[in-house]
Amino acid sequence: MKKKIENVVLDQEWITLIKEAKKLGLSLEEVRQFLVHIREKTKV
């Protein structure tokens, strides 16, 4: 399910990911750093 807010489409899975990260005490920057790290690690 996707929600459209101010011309931005938000995927429900991403919303859930961020909410769970916040519950764990992670900042948005820490989530970004993790995602960048994973993306760089999986580049072939």
> In this structure, are residues 7 and 20 in contact, taking their beta carbons and an 8 Å threshold?
no
Question: What is the pLDDT at residue 23?
Answer: 97
Question: What is the pLDDT at residue 33?
Answer: 94
The model's pLDDT over 5-40, given as tens digits with 9 standing for 90+, comes to 665 667 888 888 889 999 999 998 999 999 899 989
- Residue 28's CB is within 10 A of a number of other CB atoms, namely 10
Q: Place 41 in a pLDDT band, splitting at 50, 70 and 90.
A: confident
| 8 vs 11: CA distance, rounded Å | 10
